[in-house]
Amino acid sequence: MPPPEPCAMQPADLIISARWTIPVEPEGQVLDDHALVVRDGRIVDLLPTAQATQRYAAVALVRRPNHVLLPGLVNAHTHSPMTLFRGFADDMPLDAWLGQHIWPAEARWVDAGFVRDGAELAMLEMLRGGTTCFNDMYFYPDVVARAVDASGLRACIGMIVLEHPTVWAQNAEEYLRKGLAVRDQFRGHPRISMVFAPHAPYTVADSSFRQIQLLANELDTQIQMHVHETADELAESERRFSRRPLQRLDELGLLTPLLAAVHMTQLVAEEITLLRERGVSVVHCPESNLKLASGFCPVAELASAGINIALGTDGAASNNDLDMFGEMRSCALLAKGVAQRADVVPAAAVLSMATLNGARALGLDDRIGSLLAGKEADVICVDLSAAATQPVYDPVSHLVYAASRDQVSDVWVAGRQLLADGRPLLAESALILARAEAWRARLSATPESVADD
């Protein structure tokens, strides 16, 4: 009797084999010597490397014998063009930082060129640090979206709303109109989505919030907003509205699973319960909050309540980097210090915050954030062979407590490689850095004009 015909190998575009693979779902799982199989930009399979090479015929096979393979990091809140204000006005509280320095500088300098150059610098930094998706809240969202399109990265772009005039719009009605036009322009883009981005309760009126709430529900679109960032914000809300911001937002119908509330350093127990009941996500920006002395987000209590917690860097003007590895470490250590318990917010939970939870806060968890079959192949490799990450007992622990963004070797977004052995493949690094230096020279040449605006 003749032997059975061998099964035909299945086609694939890419196989990535690594020493360790962390799929994030289930949380904390580490797979030894596994391979990720990618076809048409999506994950097809995750299985032992020996089986993968027998079952799939791939166009490209990438072997990373000293590396961790994991989902790309999700920076759930930033202001990417503000990289050009990095180090511009340090060591001052939020109100003085904004009112006396950042807002006047923005009024003088921000235009479409500034936004393009700052966003490109931010994306180069994030790419080299393993961030594959970011949420952006800034002026000229159309310019940021075009930069994202060219970069190969993934982004969730905010349709910013304020009551006062800026370089982008004159009033809330114009902000919304222009933001929705950008949304229409990029509708259906495979890597760009849009969210409503009212700046904060103290800069947006009830009437605007009602309109945003109606539009968000009608369009099934996420909302992201700075909320409960400082004690001064709460005091002002009590004075103007006779209620705390979260109560006001709840009365306006904004506290729903569509909302991602950023910062949240000022919370009481009843508000944590309210967030859980309403299904609101919290975006924690630990290093920005520390630098501006805004307060401490009660991460351990939020996690214990089952609230979805994501991580963000905030802008480079208040951080001063866009380093998600730094945010993971700061998040874990700060949470333990605030709770005075070493066992709260473990490394695996923090890694979920920087990946799947961030995707969930942006409404993208069905597409990215973990290594499940069917999801888009936004993945990174981190080299753990450096002295600082040897020996390796627990790769998850090393990613949060020991590794640096400089150890990111490879990045793919939707199966397309954007970083190979630490080298950007699409970004014009020299041009981006030259433009950043040109902006530094311009802003440094006339500091008095900024202060006078």
Are 21 and 45 in a shared domain?
Answer: yes
Range 138-166 average pLDDT: 97
CATH code (residue 213): 3.20.20.140
Range 174-191 average pLDDT: 98
pLDDT at site 445 = 83
Residue 447, pLDDT above cutoff 60:
no
Best CA proximity match to 323, nearest among 354, 365, 291, 366: 354
Domain holding 52, by residue range, is 10-71+378-421
> Percent of the chain at pLDDT above 90?
92
Range 7-16 average pLDDT: 93
Dist CA 291 CA 318 (whole Å):
7
Range 292-319 average pLDDT: 96
Best CA proximity match to 287, nearest among 265, 309, 258: 265
Mean of the per-residue pLDDT values for the chain?
95
pLDDT at site 98 = 81
pLDDT in tens, 207-217: 999 999 999 99
Asked whether residue 368 is assigned to any structural domain, the reply reads no
Are 237 and 386 in a shared domain?
Answer: no
Residue 449, pLDDT above cutoff 70:
no
- β-strand partners of 379: 71, 412
Best CA proximity match to 73, nearest among 298, 271, 432, 324: 324
Q: What is the pTM of this model?
A: 0.96
Residue 179, pLDDT above cutoff 60:
yes
Residue 352, pLDDT above cutoff 90:
yes
Dist CA 65 CA 337 (whole Å):
36
pLDDT at site 7 = 67
Are 123 and 213 in a shared domain?
Answer: yes
Dist CA 298 CA 300 (whole Å):
6
What confidence tier does 4 reach under pLDDT thresholds 50, 70, 90? Answer: very low
Range 169-195 average pLDDT: 98
List the 42-48 sheet strands across, edge first: 42-48, 31-39, 10-21, 56-71, 379-383, 408-413, 416-420, 423-424
pLDDT in tens, 237-283: 999 999 999 999 999 999 999 999 999 999 999 999 999 999 999 99
Last residue of a domain, one of 336, 361, 386: 361
Dist CA 297 CA 334 (whole Å):
9
Asked whether residue 409 is assigned to any structural domain, the reply reads yes
What confidence tier does 285 reach under pLDDT thresholds 50, 70, 90? Answer: very high
Are 129 and 262 in a shared domain?
Answer: yes
pLDDT at site 446 = 63
Residue 234, pLDDT above cutoff 50:
yes
pLDDT in tens, 394-443: 999 999 999 999 999 999 999 999 999 999 999 899 999 999 999 999 99
CATH code (residue 412): 2.30.40.10
pLDDT at site 93 = 80
**Number of other CB atoms surrounding residue 263 within 10 Å:** 28
Using CA atoms, how far residue 239 sits from 33, 229, 234, 244, 249, in Å, is: 59, 16, 9, 9, 16
The size of the chain, in residues, is 453
The answer to whether 359 and 133 are in contact (CB under 8 A) is: yes
Return the C-alpha torsion angle 275, 276, 277, 281, nearest 10.
Answer: 60
Are 156 and 27 in a shared domain?
Answer: no
Are 206 and 322 in a shared domain?
Answer: yes
pLDDT in tens, 86-140: 998 899 887 888 888 888 999 999 999 999 999 999 999 999 999 999 999 999 9
Are 47 and 125 in a shared domain?
Answer: no
pLDDT at site 89 = 86
Are 233 and 251 in a shared domain?
Answer: yes
